[in-house]
Amino acid sequence: MKIRTRIIKVDPENPEDDKIGIAAEEIKKGNLVAFPTETVYGLGADALNEKAVRKIFEVKGRPADNPLIVHVSSVDQIYEIAQPNEIAKKLIDAFFPGPLTLVMKNKKVPKITTAGLDTVAVRMPDHKVALKLIELSETPIAAPSANKSGKPSPTKAEHVLEDLGNLVDVIIDGGETKIGLESTVVDTTVYPVEILRPGAITKEELEEYVDVKYAEDFSVAKSPGMKYKHYAPDAETIVLVGKNFLKKATQIAEDFVKKGYRVGVAGLNLEEKRNDVIYKNFGRNLEEMAKNLFKVLRELDKECDVIIVQGVEEKGIGKAIMNRLYKAGRVFRI
């Protein structure tokens, strides 16, 4: 069913009640609203309304066994839907609101939202628009990233429109997102707690409060989302990790250009080497790279058949960047 998407532009620092109120009414009616958070844009529906949540899976083309993160605007709301243990309480105190999602025992979130698991993933976004939307909707909001399943996540309202235009009722345009990568997902039902997905909150930061390990070291996917291809441009994507990136990327690009392919190269602090290759800068450091990663991949995807991306050291937010790049394409050490 096609609908007409309404785009509502808001001031991200001072979101207007009347504008967010229009979107909240849609959530209350069981409709879909895309909204900005500090990580990426989310595709939201009332987490407690099965019919509404089903629409999220439909429009994204998301497999039904991949559970959704439930977004709350207050600590009280966490206790309404989940049962935090002592470890979870510590992490809530330390990191909420922020780019951290906690998997906890479920209390009343319907099976469609949790993909049948007896746990639920909960996050409180550190973004005024998201918090106000949840508040005015008077319900927790289930929201995966607002892109077609498998594509790079949206960090601007235009990305949402490209992927989901006329499939969602409202897109709240609150400008570009600050972090640019999805939240860190931590399972608090086991000890040491396990990082199911790396993000802006790093293992080292969590370790100041609890013992932590990475779940990805296990062969079985503990988080359903871990097994799916993700973040991938349509273009053939090649990730090069190691020294002399610009030189090696340009050599490989040259080979592809000779064969008639359109090639893009993206990395940190890049200068242009050939005028028949498109060079894009992620920025000057890993934070800027995280912020611009999905945007640059989307831009190059429009113009190129092959994209060559600079891999980074898996430290700090570099861990989260590489986690996305492993799923976006093929990784080679140079």
Return the one option of ligand AMP, Mg ion, none that residue 149 interacts with (CB less than 5 to 8 A, by type): none
329-333 own/partner pairs: CB under 8 Å, 24+ apart: 329/232, 329/233, 329/236, 329/237, 329/238, 329/239, 330/237, 330/238, 330/239, 331/239, 331/241, 332/238, 332/239, 332/240, 332/241, 333/241, 333/242
> By rule CB under 6 A, what string of x and - marks binding of each residue 123-162 to ligand AMP?
---------------------xx-----------------
Q: Which residue's Cβ has the minimum distance to Mg ion?
A: 145
Return the one option of ligand AMP, Mg ion, none that residue 67 interacts with (CB less than 5 to 8 A, by type): ligand AMP
71 among annotated binding-site residues: yes
Identify which of residues 231 and 282 has a Cβ nearer to ligand AMP in the complex: 231
- Kindly state whether residue 102 participates in binding ligand AMP, applying the rule CB under 6 A: no
Phi and psi (nearest 5°) for 204?
-60, -40
Window contacting ligand AMP (CB under 6 A); options: 26-34, 85-93, 113-121, 212-220: 113-121
Identify which of residues 226 and 277 has a Cβ nearer to ligand AMP in the complex: 226
Helix, strand, coil shares, percent, the chain, to 5: 35, 25, 40
The residue from 36, 67, 174, 198 that contacts ligand AMP (CB under 6 A) is 67
- Kindly state whether residue 120 participates in binding ligand AMP, applying the rule CB under 6 A: yes
User: What's the order of all strands across the beta sheet hosting 306-310?
Assistant: 278-283, 263-268, 306-310, 236-241, 330-333
183 among annotated binding-site residues: yes
Identify which of residues 117 and 268 has a Cβ nearer to ligand AMP in the complex: 117
Q: Is 236 exposed, middle or buried (CB count within 10 Å of its CB: 0-12, 13-18, 19+)? A: middle
The residue from 117, 210, 270, 331 that contacts ligand AMP (CB under 6 A) is 117
Q: Which residue's Cβ has the minimum distance to ligand AMP?
A: 225
268-293 as b/e, with b when 16 or more CB fall inside 10 Å?
Answer: bebeeeeeebbbbbbbeebbebbbbb
Window contacting ligand AMP (CB under 6 A); options: 118-126, 232-240, 268-276, 288-296: 118-126
The residue from 25, 30, 66, 261 that contacts ligand AMP (CB under 6 A) is 66
248-251 own/partner pairs: CB under 8 Å, 24+ apart: 248/334, 249/308, 249/310, 250/274, 250/277
Identify which of residues 55 and 280 has a Cβ nearer to ligand AMP in the complex: 55
Instruction: Scan residues 21-40 and list those touching ligand AMP (CB under 6 A).
Output: none
Cα–Cα distance, 66 to 224 (Å, whole number): 5
| Measured CA distances, 67 to 57, 140, 143, 226 (Å) | 10, 15, 10, 11
Question: Which residues sit in the known binding site for ATP?
Answer: 62, 66, 119, 145, 153, 197, 231
Provide the binding-site residues for ligand AMP, judged by CB under 6 A: 66-69, 103, 114, 117, 119-121, 144-145, 182, 185, 196-197, 223-225
Question: Which residues sit in the known binding site for L-threonine?
Answer: 39, 71, 123, 143, 183
Provide the binding-site residues for Mg ion, judged by CB under 5 A: 144-145
